[in-house]
Structure 1
Amino acid sequence: MGKVVLYIAQSLDGYISRENGDIDWLRDDQDYGFDTFFESVNTVIMGRKTYEHIFELAEEFPYKNKDVYVVSRMKEGYDEYATYIQPEQISPLIEVLKNDQDKTIWLVGGAQLIYLFISLDLIDEFQIAIQPTLIGNGIPLFEKNEMEQQLDLTDVKKFDDGMLILTYRRHQ
């Protein structure tokens, strides 16, 4: 059975990017285990803004060999790289994907989509990389909400440059 994993990096003060979407503060000189994680991924799910921003950041679409779903209220159908789905289609899609595969379903972001997945209780594992950089302001990893969810810490990886990767699972 597959699992939904939020695998994402944030600054020490809790931001996934600057207000304009820049991630220039994020170190990319080490792998931090990303390649191994990426090999475990079959499906990528992201929000429309994140999807559109990828084309500004990368010369080539990085998820060509993955099934990509973009959650959008504005677009339908599909394009060269992705299938667009409406927010109300997420739960049924996740159920099918988890039952049809043993691989990882990667929730890429952003904060609105993460909030939606948390509110639907669809995230099985949180892998949060924390870079020891304070950027002051930006787009937060988690939106403010009224929900509480208990998580269990299952792993901590510490790197020489101060990067941490914390892995949590939903509390059973």
Structure 2
Amino acid sequence: MAKLILAMFTSLDGYIEGPGGVFVPPAWSGDLERHWAGQALERAGHLVYGRVNFVFNKGFWSAAETDPDSPAAKVPHAGTMNRLPKTVVSRTLTGDPGWNAVLVRDDLAGAVARLKVEAPGDVTCFGGAGIANSLLALDLVDELRLMVLPTLFGDGKRLFEPGLPQRAFTLAETRALDTGAVILHYRRSI
């Protein structure tokens, strides 16, 4: 059975977006490529996104298929990102979302249960905050891979919203990256 892995990056002060909803990406390096993206995609058999992050990633990665000069085309795992099957969770999207994705509007728990049985590798959720908190609230997350950036955002959107149920996780691995970020990998305690 596949595991559901929630992979998110956060500032030191716990934000995944800067003030005003500004996307603040991590500093990119070969080290980050290998230990963050590369490791996640080696295990992934299916990707899960919330609507906003899906639309952003679809726009970025799908360009690699048609524009060899796009930033995405220069990333070694662009083909994997475009090839992997995806689920986008949204109440506002309609029709075929494209990008090798299916749309889930309700019954998130049922959809994840099916993915855990059917996916050929782990089910990896790259967020955003809404889907992350929904998955945690429904007790569906088996592992957390958090990249803590060496930055204080000061304000913005928090990764974990108040009111989530208590859950215990066991530290499986830590890895300091050459960018100053740290990956914290936790597995759910049983």
Query: TM-score normalised by the shorter chain: which range applies?
Result: 0.7 to 0.9
Kept in 2: contact 1:21–1:53 (CA 8 A): no
- Among 54, 59, 71, the residue aligned to 2:57: 54
Aligned twin of 2:42: 39
Kept in 1: contact 2:170–2:188 (CA 8 A): yes
Q: 1:153 to 1:73 in 2, by over 3 A?
A: same
- Among 88, 97, 118, the residue aligned to 2:136: 118
> Which residue identity is paired with 2:174?
V
1:155 aligns with 2:156: no
Give the TM-score normalised by structure 2: 0.80
Q: 1:21 to 1:41 in 2, by over 3 A?
A: farther
- 1:1-150 matches, within 5 Å, as 1-18=1-18, 19-24=20-25, 26-32=26-32, 33=35, 34-54=37-57, 60=63, 62=78, 63-81=81-99, 82-88=101-107, 90-150=108-168
Aligned twin of 1:165: 183
Deviations 1:1-23 (A, max 9, x none): 21100111111111112233422
Deviates more, 1:115-124 or 1:157-166: 157-166
Kept in 1: contact 2:28–2:179 (CA 8 A): no
Q: Tell me, which stretches of 5 or more residues in structure 2 are unaligned?
A: 65-77
Give the TM-score normalised by structure 1: 0.87
CA RMSD of aligned residues (A): 2.0
The structure whose residues are more often helix, as a share, is 2
Deviates more, 1:49-58 or 1:73-82: 49-58
> Which residue identity is paired with 2:42?
E
> Which residue identity is paired with 1:22?
F
SS in structure 1 of the partner of residue 126 of structure 2: strand
Deviations 1:150-172 (A, max 9, x none): 21111111234432111111121
SS in structure 1 of the partner of residue 63 of structure 2: coil
**2: CA distance, partners of 1:165 / 1:87:** 32
Q: 1:59 to 1:31 in 2, by over 3 A?
A: farther
Q: 1:92 to 1:11 in 2, by over 3 A?
A: same
The structure whose residues are more often strand, as a share, is 1
> Which residue identity is paired with 1:126?
L
Kept in 2: contact 1:2–1:102 (CA 8 A): yes
**Identical aligned pairs, as a percentage?**
26
Q: Which runs of 4+ in 1 moved over 3 A?
A: 55-59
